[in-house]
Amino acid sequence: MICWMFPGQPIAFSGAPYDDIEFSEITRICQESTGCNPLESGTSASNFSHNVRLQLLGTCVSLYRSKQLTKQGVGPDLIAEHSMGIYPALAASGSIDSATALELTCRIGVAMAKMGMQREYALGCVIGISCAPLEAIAANNGVHIANYNTSQHFLLAGERKNIDAALAEAGASGAFSATVFPCDAPLHTPLIAEIAGDVEHIVAEYSFRDPQIPLIEHIDQTTLTAATIPSFLLDELCRPVYWDTTYRALRSRGVTLFQEVGAGKALSKFNRWIDSET
């Protein structure tokens, strides 16, 4: 059984097939549907934050790679998603089209970017410490665990000053890596409730079809339907990504081959880490 995995936002503008004609067609659709070509840094991108452009690039790459795999006849039996990967995953499942996936990526990204105009937020990647002590560290410093990627790989989110304090405490508690990344908003935390109304209004403007390929969500590992997709698109912004649990659930469903459909190989690395602990 084959599972396509759709990763979230890439960390850099690298790894995209810039010279490929079919990728250029995806970025053209992005320009037409959002007003932004993520590969450009001029006028078309001037109204978008660095992170929104990265989010759009990630969706473009995922849409491109899913089309390439489909042309090769390498279709999935199941689809899984991680964070902002939900939008191209919906397109690959047949629930929405590519233009809609790009529009949703952009509009929700822009809504989150508005949070960053009020406060300075950051993400903290912590490796080498287990869940319970990190949850205590997060609580001590007023931040949240946003991604439970493996038993010892986590992403924290919150205000920058609090993230810096949490990472210092994590390092003192034995983490062998604690890295900070700037971000627009504390994605996958309760703090996103600040823009919940905006997100609800955005999602309400779209119609969703039942996925033609089972799409497994990253919170409770249920199969999404047309009826549950709208509420999930808000819920997933406010709650953590449980990739470790999701990967194990996919394995229990009989998946033997995982294909990462996007920029980079982060999910594939997480999977190998989880397998090494089994």
pLDDT-derived band at 147 (thresholds 50, 70, 90) equals very high
Helix axes 243-252, 266-276, angle to 10 degrees: 70
Q: Is the pTM of this model over 0.85?
A: yes
Instruction: Average the pLDDT over 217-230 and give the result.
Output: 97
Q: Is the pLDDT of residue 255 over 90?
A: yes
Rounded-to-integer distance, Cα 194 and Cα 159, Å = 14
Q: How far apart are CA 221 and CA 252, in angstroms?
A: 11
Distance CA 76, CA 5 (A): 10
CA distances from 92 to 78, 177, 243 (A): 11, 34, 19
**Domains parsed from the chain with CATH numbers:** 2-117+190-276 (3.40.366.10), 121-183 (3.30.70.250)
State how far the alpha carbon of 174 is from the alpha carbons of 54, 97, 170, 259, 276, in Å. Answer: 32, 45, 7, 33, 21
pLDDT category of residue 43 using cuts at 50, 70 and 90: very low
State the Cα–Cα distance between residues 99 and 167, nearest whole angstrom: 38
